[in-house]
Amino acid sequence: MSVTDEFREARDRLLTLHSDYHQARREFVWPRFTEFNFALDWFDQVAADPEKAGNPALVIVEQDGSATRRSFADLAARSNQVANWLRSQGMRRGDRIIVMLGNQVELWELMLAGIKLGIVLIPTTTLMGPEDLAERVERGEAGWAAVGRSNIGKFAGVPGDYRLIEIGAGGGSAGTPGALQYTDSTTAAVTFTADAPTHADETLLLYFTSGTTSKAKLVEHTHTSYPLGHLSTMYWIGLEPGDVHLNVASPGWAKHAWSNFFAPWIAEACVFVYNYARFDARALMKQMDRERVTSFCALPRSGGC
């Protein structure tokens, strides 16, 4: 049995037992993989199914009503381009990259591309200033940083031996001097071949904790701890294929990966995001109704996730 089939079997068993928690606890068996790549072995396999390829995988609606919509097939092909382009720029398996982006389509493209390449992703909130970024570059041993145009200036005084990738600017001279331009990735090939199998215990994510009570800690996750571990998140949220899931956590925090990346796509559901400058409950509910949101995840108190 392939790892894709084994993963699907475990996922489907949880879907079958979605209303019987006690039986799920008794019967569910975690897959035990020695090799697994969520983007290649799961996401791309969903995208390759003719009956599922065109299903919505990501919808981002802006406050002005404009929307970005991507299917599973769209994101599979686009992340292949990004992975190929990053490789052509010298990025290699095990390299570490800070990803400092808001809720924009490039964030999901980069996450999938990074998983395919076997690089280590260090998601970082856009609220970080130069001092915090310097710590993340140093402690995270980052050799790359992918940053939106509005925040790239924060890296001007951040020391370290790393390369900047600017997102949101045009190619060539239109961008920040010395920074690679993400838009150049659109000319890369849409088919991707991995350089080697991805071992289950390879590092995938490095998250910094909030540092609320002491210095922020660096937490490691592998290619199975989140991709397989969030089968449980899919289960307790109750996500099913075809659902539309809204989670209000901000990019850069682990909750964003749980509920805006892994859990919905494990379920073959659609990730929905509504971007707004100021919280407006009425506007949010209107968008939820229009996009037929079936699942909503948020903290039961004020503050970010």
Q: Which fold has domain 3-297?
A: Rossmann fold (3.40.50)
Of the pLDDT bands very low, low, confident and very high (cuts 50, 70, 90), residue 304 is: very low
φ and ψ of 84, to 5 deg: -65, -40
**Bridge pairing between strands 163-167 and 180-181:** parallel
pLDDT one-digit tens code per residue, 221-248: 999 999 999 999 999 999 999 999 999 8
| pLDDT score at 17 | 95
| Backbone dihedral region for residue 240 (phi beyond 0: left; psi -120 to 50: alpha; all else: beta) | beta
| pLDDT score at 175 | 82
DSSP type of residue 269: P
pTM, entire model: 0.94
> What stretch of H or E contains 146?
strand 144-148
pLDDT mean across residues, the chain: 93
pLDDT at 173 over 70: no
Q: In angstroms, what CA-CA distances link 25 with 29, 241, 270, 301?
A: 9, 21, 26, 30
Residue matched to tokens 């606890």: 25
What ranges in 130-188 are assigned the alpha helix state H? 130-139
pLDDT at 98 over 60: yes
How far apart are alpha carbons 194 and 117 in whole angstroms? 7
Task: Compute the chain's Rg from CA coordinates.
Answer: 19
| pLDDT score at 49 | 98
pLDDT at 305 over 60: no
Measured between its terminal Cα atoms, the distance across the chain in Å is 38
Query: Are 112 and 79 a contacting pair, CB within 8 Å?
Result: yes
Render the burial of 223-240: b for 16+ CB within 10 Å, e for the rest.
bbbbbbebbbbbbebebe
- Residues making up the chain, counted from first to last: 305
Which has more confidence, 7 or 253?
Answer: 7
> Could you state, in order of their start, the residue ranges of all structural domains in the chain?
3-297
**Bridge pairing between strands 67-71 and 56-61:** antiparallel
pLDDT one-digit tens code per residue, 177-203: 999 999 999 999 999 999 999 999 999
Residue matched to tokens 């996730």: 305
